[in-house]
Amino acid sequence: MLRWIIFVAIYGILGFYALQAIKTASRFPWVHYTFIVVSLLVVGNFLYQFTGDDQGRVLSRPKSYAFGFLLATLSFYLITIIFLFGEDIFRLFTGLYQKIAGDQKEFGIPARRRFLSVLGLGIAAMPFGALLYGMYKGKYNYKVLSYSLEFDDLPDAFHGYKITQISDIHSGSLDDAEKVAYGIDLINEQQSDLILFTGDFVNNQTIELVPWASTFARLKAKDGLYSVLGNHDYGDYIGWDSEEEKAKNLKDLKALQREIGFDLILDSHRYIEKDGERIALLGVENWGRGGFKKAGDLEKAKAGISKDDFKILMSHDPSHWEDVVIHDDYHFHLTLSGHTHGMQFGVEIPGWIKWSPVKWRYTYWAGIYKEMGQYINVNRGFGFLGYPGRVGIWPEITVITLKKKGLT
């Protein structure tokens, strides 16, 4: 209870301070009252959604949107306050200087300048509007990102072989059947030889995927669909009545993935054959750093394959690649991961800038990287979680074309 009182107090102070910029910029009382009402509705809805029954780390859609609106409002507050606070410091020192210099008999602080308040509000409106846009449109702004990767030892038969990777569907967060169906059509339009899914079909429970099963069952690839589990698929972030119920949920999720058409690879491997040649496709259970489940067993997955095989590994968390895979005595040519979502927020201008706060947590957080002669692609995710939107880091469908160096 105390934490909520502190939260409301801080929110109120920030809102009151931001209101001063509104009052300086506009003399119309209805503008002031609208700001107050909206601010109260946002915090009231957030408290209503988050002070009810605790269901572990489950974020329902109403909770997610309550969090999203609060995040947008706080971003508006904070940026506005930065301008106000800077000006208030200047006003304070100006008043002190005028008093000491004898320019005025009594100490007084100059009035705020309308220009700076208007400027601050205008700049604050940009992230506020971007976060709202991210919830309204950005979360389904699917992007197809295509890469060609060359390898010296790729079997000749696989020159030009196309792989589509998707990741982090988080079906419990999806809320627009038409947009999701468009995303599925976009995947199928790539006409890839393989479709590989690198984990997190659900947020917590298999039941989240049930309404979407027929939609994802439309995915097609000539050589099949393969998948691994992500950290959210195990049901670790929800309170279960018993371990048996939790185990049944995971069993049901595995079965449903197979019904959809995915061959779920858990600490194992498959061979993909073409024209008498083959490549090894490996999959591990989730292995993550920093408190995430470490269930994946790379040794078990590679048992029975040769060091000389061309190897593609599916592992949900890119920290596994950084900490284990690239240092293994087997050479894993290409690893496919997800997990980070690119934090669903950042700035990406190809060839110029690629930034997200998630880079402070993960060295490899989005896109293609190469270390020690081995590649990883970290997919930005198909869905979303927590904040119900995306800003700058768009939902991704990755198409990777394998090339044999020297062949055209």
Q: Which pLDDT tens digit goes with each residue over 315-350? A: 999 999 999 999 999 999 999 999 999 999 999 998
Does residue 359 surpass a pLDDT of 70?
Answer: yes
Whether the CB-CB separation of 345 and 391 falls below 8 Å is answered with: yes
Q: Which pLDDT tens digit goes with each residue over 255-314? A: 999 999 999 999 999 999 999 999 999 999 999 998 899 999 999 999 999 999 999 999
Whether the CB-CB separation of 317 and 290 falls below 8 Å is answered with: no
Question: Which amino acid type is present at position 345?
Answer: F
Rounded to an integer, the average pLDDT of 131-135 is 96
Query: What confidence score (pLDDT) does residue 90 get?
Result: 57
- pTM higher than 0.85 for the full model? yes
Interatomic CA distance for residues 77 and 85, integer angstroms: 12
Rounded to an integer, the average pLDDT of 171-199 is 97
Query: What confidence score (pLDDT) does residue 103 get?
Result: 57
Q: Could you tell me the pLDDT band of residue 108, with boundaries at 50, 70 and 90?
A: very low
Query: What confidence score (pLDDT) does residue 86 get?
Result: 66
Rounded to an integer, the average pLDDT of 236-254 is 95
Percent of the chain past pLDDT 90, that is, above it, reads 80
Choose between 105 and 342: higher pLDDT. Answer: 342
For residue 308, the 8-state DSSP code is: T
Residue 338 burial (CB < 10 Å; 0-12/13-18/19+)?
buried
CATH number corresponding to 142-404: 3.60.21.10
Helix axis angle, 2-25 to 114-136, nearest 10°: 120
Choose between 56 and 258: higher pLDDT. Answer: 258
Percent of the chain past pLDDT 70, that is, above it, reads 91
Relative to beta strand 347-349, strand 334-337 is unpaired
Interatomic CA distance for residues 38 and 226, integer angstroms: 47
Choose between 55 and 384: higher pLDDT. Answer: 384
Rounded to an integer, the average pLDDT of 199-227 is 97
Q: Which pLDDT tens digit goes with each residue over 69-92? A: 999 999 999 999 887 776 666 555
Q: Could you tell me the pLDDT band of residue 20, with boundaries at 50, 70 and 90?
A: confident
Handedness of CA 254, 312, 382, 73 (dihedral sign): positive
Q: Which pLDDT tens digit goes with each residue over 370-406? A: 999 999 999 999 999 999 999 999 999 999 999 999 8
Whether the CB-CB separation of 107 and 95 falls below 8 Å is answered with: yes
Q: Could you tell me the pLDDT band of residue 61, with boundaries at 50, 70 and 90?
A: confident
Question: Which amino acid type is present at position 390?
Answer: R
CATH 3.60.21.10 location in the chain: 142-404
Q: Which pLDDT tens digit goes with each residue over 255-271? A: 999 999 999 999 999 99
Query: What confidence score (pLDDT) does residue 120 get?
Result: 81
Residue 277: CB partners within 8 Å, gap ≥ 6? 155, 156, 157, 158
Rounded to an integer, the average pLDDT of 60-77 is 93
- Give CA separation, 259 vs 204, 222, 317, in Å: 19, 17, 25
Interatomic CA distance for residues 218 and 113, integer angstroms: 59
Query: What confidence score (pLDDT) does residue 81 get?
Result: 87
Query: ∠401-404-408 over CA atoms, to 5°?
Result: 90
In this structure, the number of other CB atoms found within 10 A of the CB of residue 337 comes to 29
Interatomic CA distance for residues 371 and 12, integer angstroms: 49
Whether the CB-CB separation of 245 and 204 falls below 8 Å is answered with: no
Whether the CB-CB separation of 89 and 110 falls below 8 Å is answered with: no
